[in-house]
Structure 1
Amino acid sequence: MMTMRRTGVYVDGTSIDMNGGHGMRYDVLRALAGRADAAIQRLHAYLTFDERRATRSPEYEARVKGYQAALRDKGFRVTVKPLKHYAEEDGVEMIKSNSELGIAVDALSETATLDTILLATGDGDFVEVVRALQKKGCRVEVLGFDSVSAELRDVADQFINGYLIPNLLPVRDAPPGLPVWGQIGSRVRGVCNRFEQEDGYGFIAFWSSLPNTPLLAATETSPAYFRGSSLQDPTTLSRLPSRSIVLEFELASPTRLNGIPEARGIQIVSGA
């Protein structure tokens, strides 16, 4: 009898917001963690709050506290750390919030009830935390968007590019009534895994729906055909194929005999 996989989610909200993930949908993140019938045991979100700004702006305080309440409604335990203001030697004011210790303590203390940990951050300070979690028998998946530490990517059991997960991050400037991600007419994101420089065409791999397997594999993605002229920045063509360049595009009806949808209006959203 197969044992149900137990999962915990730990979101470094500041790192995610500051590095491409602002607006991330926590309900989709929860669904990703619970894919393949995993049992979600822990849902943690670590956020910051600027107390000084709140005293000056009731609108800010109401917006932030409303956001925190919405995350709690989605089942997340929300831990709030105050932003600290301090001045550098040159007089420039800096702000800082440190959630790393709280995340590390919670994750390490909860490993006995977890098989997989989904850590949403790009902060390289978590490298040793990931190693410690792995030594305790946990599989650690790291999810991030931009500016993810290379060492953190490498030490993780799997790095998940948040841009590629269907609906995790809203599509840029999406007009009302846009078809659901993966349908013809929708805008989706993927990476170019093949490009024929001489012939000027290639293929983009993307997930047409939220993955539902314990291990996320490129073989489970769908292909979209594209012509080089569909890329809004043609200077990027010389760098294709590339797994580090995330492309956002419209899925159009197939124009080729093989029935593969075509990618049009291709924009670079990460890795430029």
Structure 2
Amino acid sequence: MTIKIGVFVDAENVRYNGGFHLRYDILRRFASRGERNLIRLNTYLLFDQERANEDAEYAKKALSYQQIARQFGWKANIKNIRRYTDDEGQVSIKGSTDLDLAVDALQQADHLDEVLLVTGDGDFEPLVTALQNKGCRVELLGFDNVSRQLQRQVDTFYSGFLIPNLIPVTYEPRNNWGKPGSVVRGVCSKWFQDKGFGFLNFLDRIDDNSWITNTRLNESPWTSAFCHINEIAGDINEDDLVHGDTVLEFYVQESPQEENGLVAQNVRLVQA
């Protein structure tokens, strides 16, 4: 059965909350996994025309980012920032695309089976409820500062940090995610505090089976890497590892002991 899906990206929220340099081609690939048929691909961005008139570099980067999204098949909905001067001469800047996104999602929901919201803004909770009442399944993808209430309201939440190559690793520009020598982001699946080691899991591909977390099963997109306590950065405590939802970034290397096995090195904290 083909699932008709619409994707709505709150680009400003994502940009300021861990999703800087979001890759729209990878997001499209994630949204179309399984039997999903992409009906709407909408992203909502703010543009500061006054600044663009004075700052050529800003204008170039902003317009380039909009064009990249369009090249990957997204409708870029642009809203201009407005400036207001009060009686005391103080200038305030206002701009929000929340209403535009919500109206579009509600109007287009009649033609969709599923909606993927890319945001962390808890103000969208009423929108989620309204979409669900229309019969849409609502999934959420976010990075930092994602509303807990919004996560509880949606049908499924995905951490954007864990999706392969969705955002770049800044210090590894040619990173080959999942291959020995690459940098990945994942979570701790099992940690033995008395022994000082455990296992970190990461997604090695984008498909519709991320719910299958048993790495021994061929259909699971998760891969496991052995990790020793000596590879853990000092700002990570073992309680964070035991909880299993702490996002970690680490190098994967071939295991010197286990054939086809992997080990995690230089493990750093991304999100507790």
Structure 2 length-normalised TM = 0.91
- Name the SS for the 2:238 alignment partner: helix
Instruction: Please tell me whether the aligned partners of residues 115 and 138 of structure 1 are also in contact (alpha carbons under 8 angstroms).
Output: yes
Letter in 2 for 1:37: E
5+ unaligned residues in a row in structure 2: which ranges? 215-219
- Name the SS for the 2:34 alignment partner: helix
Other-structure match for 2:217: none
Other-structure match for 1:190: 186
Alpha-carbon distance change, 214 to 33 in structure 1, aligned in 2, over 3 angstroms: farther
Q: How big is the shift at 1:172? A: 3.1
Letter in 2 for 1:197: Q
Out of 5, 14, 18, the residue aligned to residue 20 of structure 1 is 18
Counterpart check, 1:206 vs 2:199: no
Other-structure match for 1:152: 150
- Separation in 1, partners of 2:201, 2:88: 48
Counterpart check, 1:222 vs 2:223: yes
- Separation in 2, partners of 1:141, 1:216: 14
Instruction: Please tell me whether the aligned partners of residues 228 and 234 of structure 1 are also in contact (alpha carbons under 8 angstroms).
Output: no
Instruction: Please tell me whether the aligned partners of residues 2 and 36 of structure 2 are also in contact (alpha carbons under 8 angstroms).
Output: yes
Q: How big is the shift at 1:175? A: 5.0
Other-structure match for 1:245: 246
Alpha-carbon distance change, 242 to 93 in structure 1, aligned in 2, over 3 angstroms: farther
Other-structure match for 2:232: 231
Letter in 2 for 1:145: F
Instruction: Please tell me whether the aligned partners of residues 181 and 209 of structure 1 are also in contact (alpha carbons under 8 angstroms).
Output: no
Q: Percent of aligned positions with the same letter in both sequences?
A: 37
Alpha-carbon distance change, 258 to 200 in structure 1, aligned in 2, over 3 angstroms: farther
Q: How many residues align?
A: 266
- Separation in 1, partners of 2:167, 2:109: 28
Letter in 2 for 1:60: Y
Instruction: Please tell me whether the aligned partners of residues 189 and 248 of structure 1 are also in contact (alpha carbons under 8 angstroms).
Output: yes
- Name the SS for the 2:9 alignment partner: strand
Other-structure match for 1:104: 102
Q: How big is the shift at 1:92? A: 7.0
- Separation in 2, partners of 1:244, 1:224: 16
- Equivalent runs, 1:21-36 vs 2, <5 Å: 21-36=19-34
- Separation in 2, partners of 1:91, 1:244: 47
Alpha-carbon distance change, 267 to 128 in structure 1, aligned in 2, over 3 angstroms: same
- Name the SS for the 2:172 alignment partner: coil
Q: How big is the shift at 1:198? A: 1.3
- Separation in 2, partners of 1:130, 1:214: 24
Other-structure match for 1:114: 112
Q: How big is the shift at 1:224? A: 1.2
5+ unaligned residues in a row in structure 1: which ranges? none
